[in-house]
A and B are shown apart, each in its own frame.
Chain A
Amino acid sequence: MPTSSASRAATFDETGPTETSPAQAVSRLPVSGWGIAASASWLGVTAVSLARDDVGDWSRTATFAYGAAVVALAAFVVSLAGARLGQAGTWFAHRTPWLIVLGLGLALWELVTAKLGWLPLPFFPPPQALLEVYLDDFGKLGASVLASVKLQISGYAIGAVIGFLTGVSIGWSRSAGYWVHPVLRFIGPLPATAWLPVAFFLFPSSWSASIFLIALATAFPVTVLTWSGVASVPSSYYDVARTLGATPWFLIRKVAVPAAMPHMFVGLFMGLGASFAVLVVAEMMGVKAGLGWYLQWAQGWAAYANMYAALIVMSLLCSGAITLLFKVRDRLLSWQKGVVKW
């Protein structure tokens, strides 16, 4: 197992070339041409939305059109302000090409759905239908987000802590390794979702069962990677610390754990990915709340707009969680050379 984890570790440690966007190359112009183009593309969204009546009956078309206009205006103002915005200006400049593509994509989507009706309903709702979900179903969607976040954080935190403690113990102590290793080999590779039926009748509530499953999915990779991290600490580190008077407890806390940290973070990333999958399944199968459940419910009612809306939120949340983990890692592992930026 340590070998495969090591190869995965490598994917997180590679350094790529630093990105420069096409927009930054021309940002020496007084008024950013790219900013104007982005503004135009979003104005295009407005224009398409207002050009003719919808094929179907969509209540938020006007809101959508004016919303796009607001984005266009904002892009215009920012590109006029240009260099005077400093850091924020650079941030914007870096993203303008994406803003342009996004505008074009939205305009096209709007055109082939609401305006021309080329794509079959209810499978392909127009963008204003998603906007409608966000505005009118805010309560339910928001509650689902909260439920998911709560479940995810509880399960992940428990799993990460247990994984960390188990990994350090078996990496450090031979006798802990003797007892835990076979259990780990037997239980670890089993997908956490396979426990679902058992968990739901063993635990008093579907909520606690879900926490257990998420924690299980998180704990396995964290344990294995922490373990391999602790096991691969060079013995010369211990020699140095021991000649300087370190106690075993000091060796664990101040030598083994920090030295194993890069591995540990690979485990935390893998655990995060695995736990997302379990979260959604657990919510679909058991817990009557959360984004997974919302997806299930939307599908049951053929409310595809709700489904897409929830999917977008879910992807933002998952990506946000990964970003957060990367930020924590960058802070803690700033001593390493060339850490990848997310």
Chain B
Amino acid sequence: MVALAQQVQHATAGASLEVDNISHHFAIEDRRLDVLDKVSFRAAPGEFVALLGPSGCGKSTLLRLVAGLEPPAAGSLKEDGIAIAGPDPSRVVVFQDPTLFPWRTVRDNVALGPEAQGGLKAKRARIDEVLALVGLSSFAKALPHQLSGGMAQRVALARALVNDPRILILDEPLGKLDSLTRLTMQSELVSLWQRAGFTTLLVTHDVEEALFLANRVIVFSDRPAQVKADLPVDKPYPRHRGDPDLAELRRQILGLLGLDATW
């Protein structure tokens, strides 16, 4: 557990997350749609947990609950042992869709968190730093409609990072990037996470991405989502994409996702 050893020194940065027996449902035209069914898992401080599951199974819904945007129908959520009662900048979400505010420049979009929390002045330097980190310093004054999809997604990432969250919640943040940028950003994400030490919850469709990034991979069943498997990925960083152990894990996960026949 090389990665976990590293996290010890960042114990203050990352928060632990407890997801305990969470169930959730939506009402669609008087019909009840069960989305999450008694989902439980824990993330240690500074751990990188990837969530995999079929489309529409309830991954984004789970992230919304962890973010505190909605209360769960049943079960409890705790950050560092304290019940999650609502949104808090210590748990920042990068949504599936970048959702930049079109009337704000790139820089002002990134500055949204500090501005909302009333600490804009103190964060000036940090904003520039984060913009440089995602490679968009020269686009600080651009408007969202002038960006490509991948650039917008990077702005969304910067907007989250600038808050120095304790839990970073990522909903397919690299989904819109081209494969090359995607690989670069994956490596960036790893080094960023190693440096900052926040706990990360990453939803992705890409099994290889999950295995390249995470300490643990949690596989969900079809809707209503249940935890189908909780697999540790005991490999040091930086990881090698062609690693035979990872290939074996990948085969196993694809099997869990019902793709064994074709792979």
A residues lining the B interface (CB < 8 Å):
234, 236-237, 239-247, 250, 254-255, 258-259, 261, 333, 335-337
CA distance A241 to B104 in the complex (A): 13
| B101 pairs with A236, CB closer than 8 A | no
B102: which of A239, A240, A241, A336 is its contact (CB, 8 Å)?
A: A336
Chain A CB within 8 A of B124 CB:
no
Please tell me if the beta carbons of B103 and A335 are within 8 angstroms of each other in the complex: yes
> Smallest Cβ distance from A339 to chain B, in angstroms?
12
Q: Are A240 and B95 neighbours in the complex by a CB distance under 8 Å?
A: yes
| B116:A247 contact, CB within 8 angstroms | yes
Q: Is B54 an interface residue (CB 8 A)?
A: no
Partner of B116, one of A244, A258, A333: A244
- When distances are taken between beta carbons in the complex, the residues of chain B under 8 Å from A243 are 67-69, 87-89, 91-93
Q: Which 9 A-B pairs have the closest CB atoms?
A: A244-B113, A245-B89, A246-B116, A245-B117, A242-B87, A335-B103, A243-B87, A258-B103, A236-B99
Q: How far is the CA of A237 from the CA of B103 in the complex (A)?
A: 12
Tell me the smallest distance from the CB of A60 to a CB of chain B, in Å.
Answer: 52
Contacts of B159 in A (CB 8 A): 240, 244
In the complex, the chain B residue whose C-beta lies closest to that of A251 is B116
Name the distance in Å between B99's Cβ and chain A's nearest Cβ: 5
The answer to whether A244 and B117 touch across the interface, beta carbons within 8 angstroms, is yes
Interface flag for B188 (CB, 8 Å): no
Q: Is the CB of A245 within 8 A of B143?
A: no
Task: Answer yes or no: B115 CB below 8 A from chain A CBs.
Answer: yes
> Within residues 80 to 137 of chain B, which ones have a CB less than 8 A from any CB in chain A?
87-89, 91-93, 95, 97, 99, 101-104, 112-113, 115-117
Residue B42 interfacial (CB < 8 Å): no
Shortest CB distance B35–A (Å) = 17
Inter-chain contact A241/B112, CB cutoff 8 Å: yes
Chain B interface (Cβ < 8 Å from any Cβ of A): 64, 67-69, 87-89, 91-93, 95, 97, 99, 101-104, 112-113, 115-117, 143, 145, 159, 163
Which residues in B have their C-beta under 8 angstroms from that of A335?
102-104, 143, 145
Give the CA-CA distance A273 to B116 in the complex, in Å. 38
14 A-B contacts, Cβ less than 8 Å apart? A236-B95, A236-B97, A236-B99, A237-B99, A242-B69, A244-B116, A245-B88, A245-B163, A250-B116, A258-B101, A258-B103, A335-B102, A335-B103, A335-B143
* Shortest Cβ distance from B96 into A: residue: A236
Would A239 and B163 be within 8 Å (CB), given that A255-B101, A258-B103, A335-B103 are in contact? no
How far apart are the CA atoms of A6 and B99 in the complex, in Å?
Answer: 22
B93 partner residues in chain A, CB cutoff 8 A: 239-240, 243
Which residues of A sit under 8 angstroms from B88, Cβ to Cβ?
Answer: 243, 245
* Chain A residues whose C-beta falls within 8 Å of the C-beta of B95 in the assembled complex: 236, 239-240
Please state if B103 and A259 are interface contacts (CB–CB under 8 Å): yes
Q: Are A239 and B116 in contact (CB under 8 A)?
A: no
Please give 6 more A-B residue pairs, beta carbons under 8 A apart, in addition to A243-B91, A244-B117: A236-B95, A239-B67, A245-B113, A254-B116, A258-B101, A335-B102
Beta-carbon contact of B102 and A254 below 8 Å: no
Write out the residue numbers on chain A whose beta carbons fall within 8 Å of the beta carbon of B89. Answer: 243-245
Chain A residues with CB below 8 A from B112, complex form? 240-241, 244
Of B88, B91, B103, B104, which is in contact with the most chain A CB atoms at under 10 Å from its CB? B103
Residues of B within 8 A of A244 (CB): 89, 92, 112-113, 116-117, 159, 163
Whole-angstrom CA separation of A333 from B159 in the bound complex:
23
Q: How far is the CA of A261 from the CA of B117 in the complex (A)?
A: 24
Residues of A within 8 A of B143 (CB): 335
Q: Please tell me if the beta carbons of A254 and B115 are within 8 angstroms of each other in the complex.
A: yes
Bound-state Cα–Cα, A204 to B116, Å: 46
**Which residue, A239, A244, A247, has most C-beta atoms of chain B within 10 A?**
A244
A168 → chain B, closest Cβ, in Å?
16
Partner of A337, one of B69, B116, B145: B145
With a CB–CB cut-off of 8 A, which chain B residues contact A255?
A: 101
Q: CA–CA, A28 to B102, complex, Å?
A: 41
Minimum distance in angstroms from B56 CB to a CB of chain A:
18
Report A-chain residues with C-beta under 8 Å of the C-beta of B97.
Answer: 236
Which residue of chain A lies nearest to B112 when distances are taken between CB atoms in the complex? A244
Of chain B, the residue at the smallest CB distance from A337 is: B145
- With a CB–CB cut-off of 8 A, which chain B residues contact A254? 115-116
User: In the complex the two chains form, what is the Cα distance from A255 to B235 in whole Å?
Assistant: 43
By a CB distance below 8 angstroms, the chain A residues around B103 are 258-259, 261, 333, 335
A202 CA to B227 CA, complexed, in Å: 71
Distance to closest chain B CB from A249 (angstroms): 10
Complex interface: chain B residues within 8 A of A246 (CB): 116
Report the separation of the CA atoms of residues A245 and B120 in the bound assembly, to the nearest whole angstrom.
13
Complex interface: chain A residues within 8 A of B163 (CB): 244-245
Complex: A292 Cα to B117 Cα, angstroms: 52
| Residues in chain B near residue A258, CB distance under 8 A | 101, 103
Complex interface: chain B residues within 8 A of A259 (CB): 101, 103
Instruction: Report the nearest A residue to B105, measured CB to CB.
Output: A335
Instruction: List, in ascending order, chain B residues with CB within 8 A of A337's CB.
Output: 145
Determine the distance from Cα of A237 to Cα of B145 in the docked complex, in whole angstroms. 16
- Measured CB to CB, the closest approach of chain B to A126, in angstroms, equals 52
A237 engages B101 (CB within 8 Å): yes
How close is A279's CB to chain B, nearest CB, in angstroms?
A: 32
Closest to A247 in B: B116
Residues of B within 8 A of A234 (CB): 99
